[in-house]
Amino acid sequence: MLTHSELERIANELRIDIIKAIYNAKSGHPGGSLSAIDIITYLFFNEIKRTPENAFDPDRDRFVLSKGHGVPALYAVLARLGLIEYNELMNLRKLGSRTQGHPSYQDLPYVEASTGSLGQGLSIAIGIAIAGKLDKKNYNVYCMIGDGEMQEGQIWEALMSAPKFKLDNLCVILDYNKSQIDGYIKDVMDLEPIESKLTAFRWNVMEIDGHDFDEIEKAIQTFKKILDKPSFIIAHTIKGKGVSFMEDNIEFHGRAPNEKEFEQALIELQKLLKEKWVKQQG
């Protein structure tokens, strides 16, 4: 178990990796990768604890990234855990790479499912969770969805079905960064009130700050205790979190930084790391 300070440091180091990978690729989705990285870091380091040795263990916890365009965050974690090479992360989106623009199960099975056409990953996660129940396994299934993604009809079909099967081994995390491509969620197609909709659908609903490791941990520990129903964590996040000019900036939903922006982003993230962690140690 890593301390929350260690997790925070790793997540911010991974933010640098994400920015580098997207900059090298000259395309990709920084906004939704940066909003998701804290939660994905927590899950992989303190819950799923994936290693190259247990990567295909039938008892492993699963993580399905339904919002597949956020995959640089997942690749960054997989690289840090030694499941893929660092240079594969830096070859994001290049011809022949396993680090495809969106998660490709046929190229890189660690992603657990091919996603990137929004709306589909949650149903797959439900299938994996049902199989876990059938096989009397103890694994948990975590699935991250986007808020824009949550507008898809299939998501609501999935939300209706998981409580029916009493999937207390399923935890959905909504990366609620409030925006999509054409604008803010509330303007494009509002989802609110999310909490009461999901409660009505018989989910165990929790609401947290998705960048606060104390809150992330508390919600996940609660999920693990709740019986007979699936959990849904509404994680309030900031799109582009960690890079000032990307934060809450729709332009960086799906565009790589240019050279100047790239350098600026690195300066900001490195400064943060230095101030918070080097000082702490010294």
Ligand X SMILES: Cc1ncc(C[n+]2csc(CCOP(=O)(O)OP(=O)(O)O)c2C)c(N)n1
Residues that bind ligand X (CB under 6 A): 29, 31-32, 35, 67, 69-70, 116-119, 146-149, 175, 177, 179-181, 239, 253
Instruction: Tell me: does residue 61 bind other proteins (CB under 8 A).
Output: no
Counting runs of H as helices and runs of E as strands, what totals does the chain give?
A: 11, 5
CA dist., res. 121 & res. 260, Å (int):
35
Instruction: Tell me: does residue 282 bind other proteins (CB under 8 A).
Output: no
Nearer to ligand X, 18 or 130 (CB): 18
| Total number of residues that touch other proteins (CB under 8 A) | 33
Q: What is the distance, to the nearest Å, from the Cα of residue 21 to the centroid of all Cα atoms in its chain? A: 17
Contact assessment for residue 142 and residue 176, using Cβ atoms and an 8 Å cutoff: no
Contact assessment for residue 237 and residue 208, using Cβ atoms and an 8 Å cutoff: no
Minimum Å gap between C-beta 226 and ligand X is: 26
First to last CA, the chain: 23
Question: What's the DSSP call for residue 26?
Answer: T
**Which residues inside 173-212 make contact with other proteins, applying CB under 8 A?**
180-182, 185, 188-189
Q: Using CB distances below 5 to 8 A depending on partner kind, what does residue 101 bind out of ligand X, other proteins, none?
A: other proteins
Nearer to ligand X, 119 or 163 (CB): 119
Q: Using CB distances below 5 to 8 A depending on partner kind, what does residue 15 bind out of other proteins, ligand X, none?
A: none
| CB hemisphere CA count around 194 (13 angstroms) | 25
Nearer to ligand X, 119 or 132 (CB): 119
Instruction: Tell me: does residue 239 bind other proteins (CB under 8 A).
Output: no
- State how beta strands 231-236 and 170-176 pair: parallel
Instruction: Tell me: does residue 151 bind other proteins (CB under 8 A).
Output: yes
